[in-house]
Amino acid sequence: KKGFIVMKIGKPIKYIAVPPKEVLERVKKNVKEEADRSINQLEKIKDTDILNDLVALHEKGVEMVEPSEITGALKGRDNLYSQLLMMVKEAEKSIVLVTSAEGLRRKTELLLRALKKAKERGVEIKISAPLKDFKELEALQEVAEIKDLGLTGRFCIVDNSSVLFMMANDDDVHPTYDIGIWLNTPFFSSTMTQMFDSLWSLVKVKAKK
């Protein structure tokens, strides 16, 4: 069924193996076709009444929920970065990122495009991270102010309204077991931003290009 072998006509039945390189090409073709089908199905959903009803329900439902009650726990670095990417894409005014040196490299690779678009929308972006070997991260300086505030935490604040905390040092935890907490609470997020900005104003040294 997978097309990896060919049945030879005759008795007894014999099978001929398809060359490995051809097998690889067939697998690639099948994966692409399946992905294209899935994408087409998802695109069709955009124009359905079901999605419009869900969007309306979500927007009206959120208005009825206390912001402090909108929280979530995330496990696994892929899930954390998916949430982080969504927050960056939805940012309208400000993004504050505090991360490690290795975390900054990952964010440069995974979030740079979204951060550029946020910058184009007029979003102010501030990042605190160790500045060692910063030559690798010059592209990030085009969209953000970067300083080393000496902070060891890992978190992101967007628009003074939502915050994502990573609960462990990324040097001490396997990506699969990385854990984060997302909170949508303007009161707490604004307080965190005020504390960050106070420290930011005291540190004059920025990353050198």
Q: How far is CA 130 from CA 77, 138, 195, 200, 205, in A?
A: 20, 14, 19, 14, 12
User: Do 18 and 6 touch, CB atoms closer than 8 A?
Assistant: yes
Q: Tell me, what's the pLDDT at 136?
A: 60
Q: Tell me, what's the pLDDT at 10?
A: 74
Across 15-43, average pLDDT: 85
Q: In the numeric block, which tokens belong to residue 34?
A: 């399946």
- The stretches of the chain forming alpha helices (DSSP H) are 20-45, 49-63, 77-90, 101-120, 138-141, 186-202
Q: Tell me, what's the pLDDT at 19?
A: 83
Q: Say whether pLDDT at 8 is over 80.
A: no
Q: Tell me, what's the pLDDT at 95?
A: 96
- pLDDT category at 122 given cuts 50, 70, 90 is very high
Give the predicted TM-score (pTM) of the model: 0.68
Q: Say whether pLDDT at 60 is over 90.
A: no
Range with lowest mean pLDDT among 49-58, 124-133, 195-204: 49-58
- pLDDT category at 11 given cuts 50, 70, 90 is confident
